[in-house]
Amino acid sequence: MKVLMFGWEFPPVYSGGLGTACYGLTKALAKKGVEITFVMPQGPLDIKGDFVNLLIANNLAITNITIKKVASLLSPYSGSEDYYQRYQKIMQTKGNAEAALYGYNLHHEVYRFSEIAKLIAESEDFDVIHCHDWMTFPAGINAKQIKNKPLIVHIHATEFDRTGGNGVNQYVYDLEKTGMQLADMVIANSHHTKHLIINHYGIPPEKITVIHNAVDFSDGNFQQFRIRKEDKLVLFLGRITLQKGPDYFIEAAKMVLEKDPDVKFIVVGSGDMEAAMIQRAAQLGIGSKVLFAGFLKGEERDRIYKMADVYVMPSVSEPFGITPLEAMVRNTPTIISKQSGVSEVLRNCLKVDFWDVEELANKILGVLTYRHMHNELTILGYHEVLQFSWDFPADKCIELYDKFGGRT
């Protein structure tokens, strides 16, 4: 089976869950003998040198994957404004001539990427096309038209998740909808996502297969130690955007601190609501208790997960949500919103409706106070997360490949 896949980010480039999911799934598929041509946009400022190929060739020893990088300014979480800033930066640092290589706005860049996809599709041999999220859909549609091969679109997040339903971008919505309509099959990464697709995009339920994400911690080395500290720490880690619910985190912090002043709240990440959140904490008189740590990666990220007594993911809308699993494998109990895909598959964690600030505060206080619950969540959560594997989602993808792209 040969798959032409349009995806995102391989390590060490990392900006969120989409890249992690693409990487985990692709690796598991390749291990099972699926041959993948993985096409991904890569900007000139994202990484230096050819580290991706090097890493894959030398360290991970993955066969069956051919990486094709397309010079592009697309990034999995960019909006129009963000794109404009990147474009400006290229103009400033590399000059107008280089900037001219890229689309002058996000729409144009998505279009340009889809034109390059035609060339790739013509030169490649494949049985099925698998696309991850909307920016790659026009590329997938073009590839389908060139070779008349089945198209599977994989939805990791919809425009409704990203915007919380407020200010849905019509252009993005249209591309998502067209992609799903023209696809032979739609993969949703949770039932949460499936419901959104049915209700907001009018895609018939029978055309949607739910394949939950996974994580692969089998080759990770998680030293099990806790970091000593005076105060109890409650962690938020994610983009500080409407979708992730940072405002509910701050409001809950206020309620917790009224009962227990010896608690610190750490917000890790950046995003368009950061300034507003800092202001809100100050306004509530808890500015000294809520610390904004900025974006962290690698060891720092690892360390903050371990330091935390509890990790909170209060997302308003979370198609899946990989961060609770990252926290749990580091022995940190988690509280997640019921409006997340991961809550469909996770047992040993606490769950709240994101809007129920009082209940969130109740659970934060509970997990900080009742050591036995903290221990139980830690131990059972750790073991539960270790059982996750990309093998199962990969098998379900292969079933779909066989069904739609099977050679006769």
Q: Which residues bind other proteins (CB under 8 A)?
A: 255, 259-260, 347-348, 350-351, 358-359, 361-363, 365-366, 369-373, 375-377, 380
Q: For residue 18, give the nearest of 26, 7, 27 by alpha carbon.
A: 7
- The token duo for 269 is 């990440």
Which tokens is 207 given?
């055309």
List, in order, residues 6 or more apart from 307 with CB less than 8 Å away: 226, 227, 229, 233, 235
- For other proteins, the closer of residues 73 and 365 by Cβ is 365
End-to-end CA distance of the chain: 12
Residue 112, H or E segment: helix 106-123
**CB closer to other proteins out of 191 and 207:** 191
Shortest distance, CB of residue 261 to other proteins, whole angstroms?
Answer: 12
Instruction: Work out how close the CB of 373 gets to other proteins at its nearest, in angstroms, rounded to a whole number.
Output: 6
For residue 354, the minimal CB distance to other proteins (Å) is 15
Is 251 within 8 Å of 357 (Cβ atoms)?
yes
Write the DSSP string, 320-364: S--HHHHHHTTT--EEEETTBGGGGT--SSEEE-TT-HHHHHHHH
Closer by beta carbon to other proteins, 2 or else 338: 338
Alpha-carbon torsion, ordered 315, 320, 326, 331, to 10 deg = 70
The CA distance from 186 to 56, in Å, is 29
> Shortest approach of other proteins to residue 264 CB, angstroms?
17
CB of 325 to other proteins, least distance (A): 17
Nearer to other proteins among residue 198 and residue 255 (C-beta):
255
In terms of C-beta density within 10 A (0-12 exposed, 13-18 middle, 19 or more buried), how is residue 338 classed? middle
Taking the C-alpha atoms of residue 119 and residue 379, their distance in angstroms, rounded to an integer, is 51
- Least distance in Å: CB of 164 to other proteins? 24
Nearest CB to other proteins, comparing residues 322 and 350? 350
Q: Which is nearer to other proteins, 270 or 362 (CB)?
A: 362
For other proteins, the closer of residues 47 and 380 by Cβ is: 380
CB of 237 to other proteins, least distance (A): 21
